[in-house]
């Protein structure tokens, strides 16, 4: 069928070219997610306690459940996106095309996990700093979490091509 790649033939030139193009896009996405999550972790929603406080330098919202969830989501996203970057840096060194394809798929799954947890970090971080404005906090959460069903629909549609 025209436009489809023979996924069983990982030695084909067209398949290898598509795999390389996908790897480039994955690497860019994973690097951007790593950058965003690192920046979010360093800047901390709500800010830091100043030198006059009881715990100078610690996060102001550290006792908030939403802030704790933010830290967990953000750290998870950072770890999975960094792992995807590492995989993509190592994949070209693998001798077998099947191994490169398999590791690229693992990296793609890691990027999906990183994207979902990055959205989770955004939602929980927004909720933590908007807790005083419940309506806005809830609206932000609902809009942010709409990413999950959108991602699901895209992935299902994507796999219908294979």
DSSP H helix total and E strand total for the chain: 5, 0
Is 7 inside a domain boundary? Answer: no
Is 4 inside a domain boundary? Answer: no
The enclosing domain of 106 has a CATH number of 1.20.140
Model confidence at 150: pLDDT above 70: yes
Question: What residues have CB less than 8 Å from 128, skipping those under 6 apart?
Answer: 45, 46, 61, 64, 66, 67, 70
Instruction: Quote the pLDDT of residue 53.
Output: 66
Which backbone phi and psi does 158 adopt, to 5 degrees?
-60, -45
Is 8 inside a domain boundary? Answer: no
Task: Residue 106: give the domain boundaries.
Answer: 13-49+56-159
Number of domains the chain contains: 1
pTM (2 d.p.) = 0.82
* pLDDT digits 0-9 by tens, 68-110: 999 999 999 999 999 999 999 999 899 888 888 899 999 999 9
Is 20 inside a domain boundary? Answer: yes
Is 116 inside a domain boundary? Answer: yes
Rounded Cα distance between 68 and 74, Å, is 10
Calculate helix-pair angle for 97-129, 65-90, nearest 10 degrees.
160
* pLDDT digits 0-9 by tens, 21-65: 888 899 999 999 999 999 998 888 788 777 776 777 787 788 889
Question: What residues have CB less than 8 Å from 127, skipping those under 6 apart?
Answer: 66, 137, 140, 141
Instruction: Quote the pLDDT of residue 15.
Output: 82
């Amino acid at each position: 069928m025209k436009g489809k790649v023979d996924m069983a033939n990982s030695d084909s030139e067209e398949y290898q070219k598509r795999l390389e193009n996908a790897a480039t896009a994955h690497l860019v996405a994973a690097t951007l997610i790593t950058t965003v999550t690192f920046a979010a972790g360093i800047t901390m929603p709500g800010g830091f306690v100043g030198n006059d406080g009881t715990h100078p330098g610690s996060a102001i919202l550290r006792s908030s459940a939403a802030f704790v969830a933010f830290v967990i989501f953000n750290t998870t996203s950072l770890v999975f996106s960094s792992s995807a970057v590492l995989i993509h840096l190592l994949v070209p060194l693998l001798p077998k095309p099947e191994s490169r394809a398999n590791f690229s798929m693992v990296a793609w799954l890691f990027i999906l996990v990183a994207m979902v947890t990055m959205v989770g970090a955004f939602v929980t971080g927004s909720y933590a700093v908007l807790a005083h404005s419940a309506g806005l906090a809830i609206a932000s959460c609902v809009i942010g979490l709409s990413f999950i069903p959108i991602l699901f629909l895209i992935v299902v549609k994507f796999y219908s091509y294979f």
